[in-house]
Structure 1
Amino acid sequence: MRTDDFWTLIDQARTGADGDVEAIAARATELLAARDVADIVGYARHQRRVLAASYLVDLWGAAYLINGGCSDDWFDYFRGWLIAQGRSVFARAVAEPDSLAELPVVRQAAVTGEDFASQEMLGVATRAYRKATATELPPDPDAVPYPPEIGEFWDFDDEGSARRQLPRLAALFLDPPAE
């Protein structure tokens, strides 16, 4: 599956979902299950590449600020949510994690405390393959490994570090709104 095909499928799944990530995941599963098995395997492989490319310390820091904490599993789920936001949001967040502060849903989360994560988005290929073949998705012998270095970690709990690394997100999530 080519990059454009992967993101086109995500965009198709987003249509009519009104930002509901679980609905996007369900729709993506249905759309993918209707395709050739090779496309399902290709989707899984491409998703792995997308996740590997987004395995970055500053993006993890952004997830930590936005969600009020972020374990390694939760960072995967955060990136599942990020995939559901579409190609342009995903690419911009990978290039500049602090840009997430511009998203209306993220700005609202600074007030509501909503968390952003989707394990369901990460399971789209597995569920689609099972639906299409009644068998489990085989392991990818050519799986793209995560980079050995995520980048230099900084203390996500240190306000000064957060303000230096992600100033816009820090302003949203560390400074209480004026009443």
Structure 2
Amino acid sequence: MSDQRRRSTHGCGKAVAAAKYARLMWKNSAQRAAAIYASLPSANNNQPGPRMNQCRRDAMRLLVILAASSGLGIVHSAQPANAKPMEEHMFWTIIEKSKAAAGVDLNRRPSALELILVSLSLDTIQAFQKQYEQQLLKANRWDLWGAAYVMNGGCSDDGFRYFRDWLISEGRQLFESALAAPDSLAAIPRREYFELELFGSAASKAFAKKGGGELDRDFKAELTQPQGKEWKESDLPKLFPKLASKYKLQ
């Protein structure tokens, strides 16, 4: 198994404890459930959290249910929860600017995006986040997950989220081309892995730096099942012949 595949599929770390503890809290105070949520690796961490799979989803679902059943909001923001998404053209312009500012260094894109966003108003950062989440959902498809699986030598549910972060960071043209034909990603030069987890937390960091507190987030991007037809690993060479040939998948 490759190092990347191990990174994408290994244990659940804090989320295991969070999920178990959250279940114990079911008959206790939902207020304390917010503390469990806060203990999970969040978008505001300076370092990426551990790869967490179904355990994190279980913990998140349970906490959302606890919060909803008690009327407790687990996300605290200075901005209204009904903020509208940023217009797509403006959103992609910001993405392209961050990509250009980072140059050839993929890992500089998150900090480049954060630097652009921190110069904007809190309302605009929140609108950017809303549009970002819409793009994550748009790319939440089984066929793209299959492409990510081939390109990364394996891909967990969290790995697929980080793959979509990378895909958004590449800009509108590549993003929309991938949605139209995932096998077209075979044209991308090979690298160790295709993930960019911290790109997805740039807006949260910028929002916090400007004194906005916790950015309002929609966790549908984390919890919604992918669209389309689920595949088996044996299906992938036929579904993505170009990618399978490039990455030696048989």
Matched, 1:167 2:238: no
SS in structure 2 at match of 1:174: coil
Tell whether the 8 Å contact from 2:165 to 2:196 is kept in structure 1 after alignment. Answer: yes
Structure 2 counterpart of 1:47: 132
RMSD: 2.2
Residue of structure 2 in register with 1:151 after alignment: 228
- Deviation string 1:138-174 (CA, Å, 9 cap, x unpaired) is 3459x78976552111112x1xx11211111011112
Q: Which residue matches 2:103?
A: 18
Q: Is contact 1:33-1:128 (8 Å) kept? A: yes
Q: Which has the higher contact order (CA 8 A, sep 6+)?
A: 1
Secondary structure (helix, strand or coil) at the match of 1:133 reads coil
1:59 pairs, out of 135, 144, 153, with 144
Quote how far apart the aligned CAs of 1:73 are: 0.3
Change (3 A) 1:139 1:90: closer
Q: Report the residue type matching 1:150 in the other structure.
A: Q
Cα separation, partners in 2 of 1:126 and 1:16, compared to 1, 3 Å: closer
Residue 33 of structure 1 and its aligned partner are, at CA, apart by: 1.0
Gaps of 5+ in 2: 1-85
**1:149 and 1:82, CA in 2 relative to 1: closer, same or farther beyond 3 A?**
closer
Query: What are structure 1's unaligned runs of at least 5 residues?
Result: none
Task: Give every structure 1 segment of 4 or more consecutive aligned residues whose post-TM-superposition deviation is greater than 6 Å.
Answer: 143-146
Q: SS of 1:163's equivalent?
A: helix
**TM-score for the superposition, normalised by structure 1:** 0.84
State the match for 2:203 in structure 1.
125
Q: Give the % identical residues.
A: 33
- Of 165, 173, 194, the match for 1:116: 194
C-alpha contact (below 8 Å) 1:55/1:146 kept by paired residues: no
Give the TM-score taking structure 2 as reference length. 0.61
**8 Å contact from structure 2 (residues 133, 218) kept in 1:** no
Q: Does 1:78 align with 2:133?
A: no
User: In the superposition, relative to structure 1, how do residues 51 and 146 fare at CA in structure 2: closer, same or farther (>3 Å)?
Assistant: farther
TM-aligned CA deviation for residue 18 of structure 1 = 2.5
Give the equivalent residue in structure 1 for 2:174.
89
Bigger-Rg structure (1/2): 2
Take 1:63 and 1:34, find their aligned partners in 2: how far apart are those partners?
33
Residue correspondences, number: 165
1:164 is matched by which residue type in structure 2?
Answer: K
CA deviation map 1:91-135 (0-9, x unaligned): 1111111010012x2xx33xxxx1111111110110110111252
